[in-house]
Chains A and B, each alone.
Chain A
Amino acid sequence: MENNHVTKLLPEYLDNTLSKEDKEKVRKHIADCIQCKLEHDEMNILFKAFENEPISVPTESLTAKFDKALQQEKMETSKVIPISSEKKKIGWASNMLKVAASIALLVASFQMGRFLQQEKSNEDIAILLDETLQVKQTAMLSLMENQSASKRIQGVNYIEEFPNPDEAIVKALANRLLHDENDNVRLNAFEALSRFATSPTVKQAFIEALDIEKNPSIQIAIIQSLVKIQEKKAAAPMKKLLEQEDTQPFVRNEIELALPKII
């Protein structure tokens, strides 16, 4: 292509897409150059032909088919549940929660285990204590039946181990108080029982003992104990003692002092 000719620029010139300078250049050149003028005119004819070329239109079914395909695609995509993006956002917080929850679970189960263990050992200790008490009771009851007076005293003194002695022990002690041949054993039994003077069994035992007791020191102790608990039923055996001839004078004296306090 010749240097000065503008054939290369002609399409753009006709399309009116050239810059102002280029456009001016082409316009001037065409005015002078016959060759390029011809080229321009011919190209113009061709471009006119392009403009006049009928544009064919696709049938309606193309649009319909496209719509159908689009609807189908929408149906298929709506079935897909997007999870990727949201999952990342909550990841951090939920992980922390998970860690916290597992720590809490660990601590809770540890504490629970400890508590259960403690409860079990408490139970064991309670059973053991119960067992020792039973052993002691058996020992106490058997000691009280011993031939030796000192052993019997030892058995009676076991009462201190029982804060709440059961009926069997109280009965055994009352038995000692009423029927033991040894004064010391009776006195010890009385002392042991006096701690539970409010019990009806004990009261009954005291009243009975007052009836049959010959030892003046025990008699006086019983009288004082009965006065202390204000036992009305004791009045009768006391009066009986007053009437008896073999009653010691100081015992008599004690009863005379005690009777008005009861009645």
Chain B
Amino acid sequence: MEELSDEIVMQKVAAGNLDLLKVLFDRHHRHVYNFLYKMSGDKMLSEDLTQDVFYKIIKYRSSYKNGSFVAWLFTIARNDLKTHFTRVHKNHEDIDAVDYKKVENQEDRSEEHSHLQNALNKLDATDRELVILNRFQEIRYNELAEITGSTPGAIKTRMSRALKKLKRIYLENI
């Protein structure tokens, strides 16, 4: 099973071979969890959301449309996170702003975060998301473009700027 690509495995799952979902879960659940954890800084929440992401994959497996599986997976994860924050904060502020504040609040409380994590938390939510997905989950520009609904070129430029900004923040506080 290991040599099959995510896309082929997912196609088989969509065709009814549910057992193969276990393969995809084993391959990716840590990445999803880490993405959510880096974004939210909340272990329990990240675990719940990770579980929810894979529930959704089980449920909506037939709606998979042969694109990049990783892109699809993180699109679901992103939407889950956004939905969660809009639900938690009843006041309907801008989603990204809400996201950002949430992490900032947590930073004050817990000192256990790494220096890099603290620097990441100071980035815009959109920039942070890009950096986390690209650096930690090794998601390529093409897939990032797919996830965010942008073009690879634009992603590349944004990534470069975001990294520069992050570097400045990181080195300032070192």
Give the bracket for the number of chain A residues in contact with chain B.
Answer: 20 to 34
Shortest Cβ distance from residue B109 to the other chain A in the assembled complex, whole angstroms: 17
Q: CB distance A49 to B115 under 8 Å?
A: yes
Q: Is A7 in the interface zone, CB < 8 Å from B?
A: yes
Q: CB distance A50 to B116 under 8 Å?
A: yes
Per-position 1/0 for A27-65, Cβ under 8 A of B? 000000000000000110111011001111111011101
A67 to B19, CA, bound (A): 10
Given contacts A46-B166, A69-B54, contact A58 B116 (CB under 8 A): no
Residues of A within 8 A of B27 (CB): none
Looking across the interface, which residue of chain B has its beta carbon closest to that of A46?
Answer: B167
Per-position 1/0 for B14-38, Cβ under 8 A of A? 0010110110010001100110010
Q: CB distance B18 to A53 under 8 Å?
A: no
Residues of A within 8 A of B163 (CB): 11, 43, 46
Stretch at the interface among B45-53, B76-84, B96-104, B144-152: B45-53
Looking across the interface, which residue of chain B has its beta carbon closest to that of A50?
Answer: B135
Shortest Cβ distance from residue B97 to the other chain A in the assembled complex, whole angstroms: 25
Given contacts A8-B160, A57-B30, contact A49 B18 (CB under 8 A): no
A58 to B136, CA, bound (A): 15
A63 to B117, CA, bound (A): 26
Looking across the interface, which residue of chain A has its beta carbon closest to that of B33?
Answer: A58
A61 to B166, CA, bound (A): 34
Per-position 1/0 for B133-174, Cβ under 8 A of A? 001100000000000000000001101100110110011000
Give the bracket for the number of chain B residues in contact with chain A.
Answer: 35 or more
Residues of A within 8 A of B136 (CB): 50, 53, 55
Q: CB distance B116 to A77 under 8 Å?
A: no
The A3-20 residues at the B interface (CB cut-off 8 A) are 7-8, 10-11
A62 to B59, CA, bound (A): 17
Residue numbers of A with Cβ under 8 A of B are: 7-8, 10-11, 42-43, 45-47, 49-50, 53-59, 61-63, 65-67, 69-70, 73-74, 77
Closest 6 CB pairs of A and B: A58-B33, A49-B116, A46-B167, A50-B135, A73-B58, A8-B160
Assuming A7-B164, A50-B116, A66-B29, what are 14 further A-B pairs, CB within 8 angstroms? A8-B157, A46-B166, A49-B116, A50-B135, A50-B136, A53-B136, A55-B30, A58-B30, A58-B33, A65-B51, A67-B22, A69-B54, A69-B58, A73-B58
Residue numbers of B with Cβ under 8 A of A are: 16, 18-19, 21-22, 25, 29-30, 33-34, 37, 43, 46-47, 50-51, 54-55, 58-59, 114-117, 135-136, 156-157, 159-160, 163-164, 166-167, 170-171
Would you list 27 pairs from A and B whose C-beta atoms are within 8 A, ordered by A residue? A8-B156, A11-B159, A11-B160, A42-B167, A45-B171, A46-B163, A46-B166, A49-B115, A50-B135, A53-B114, A53-B116, A55-B34, A56-B43, A57-B33, A58-B47, A59-B47, A62-B33, A62-B50, A63-B25, A63-B29, A65-B51, A66-B51, A69-B51, A69-B55, A70-B25, A70-B58, A74-B18
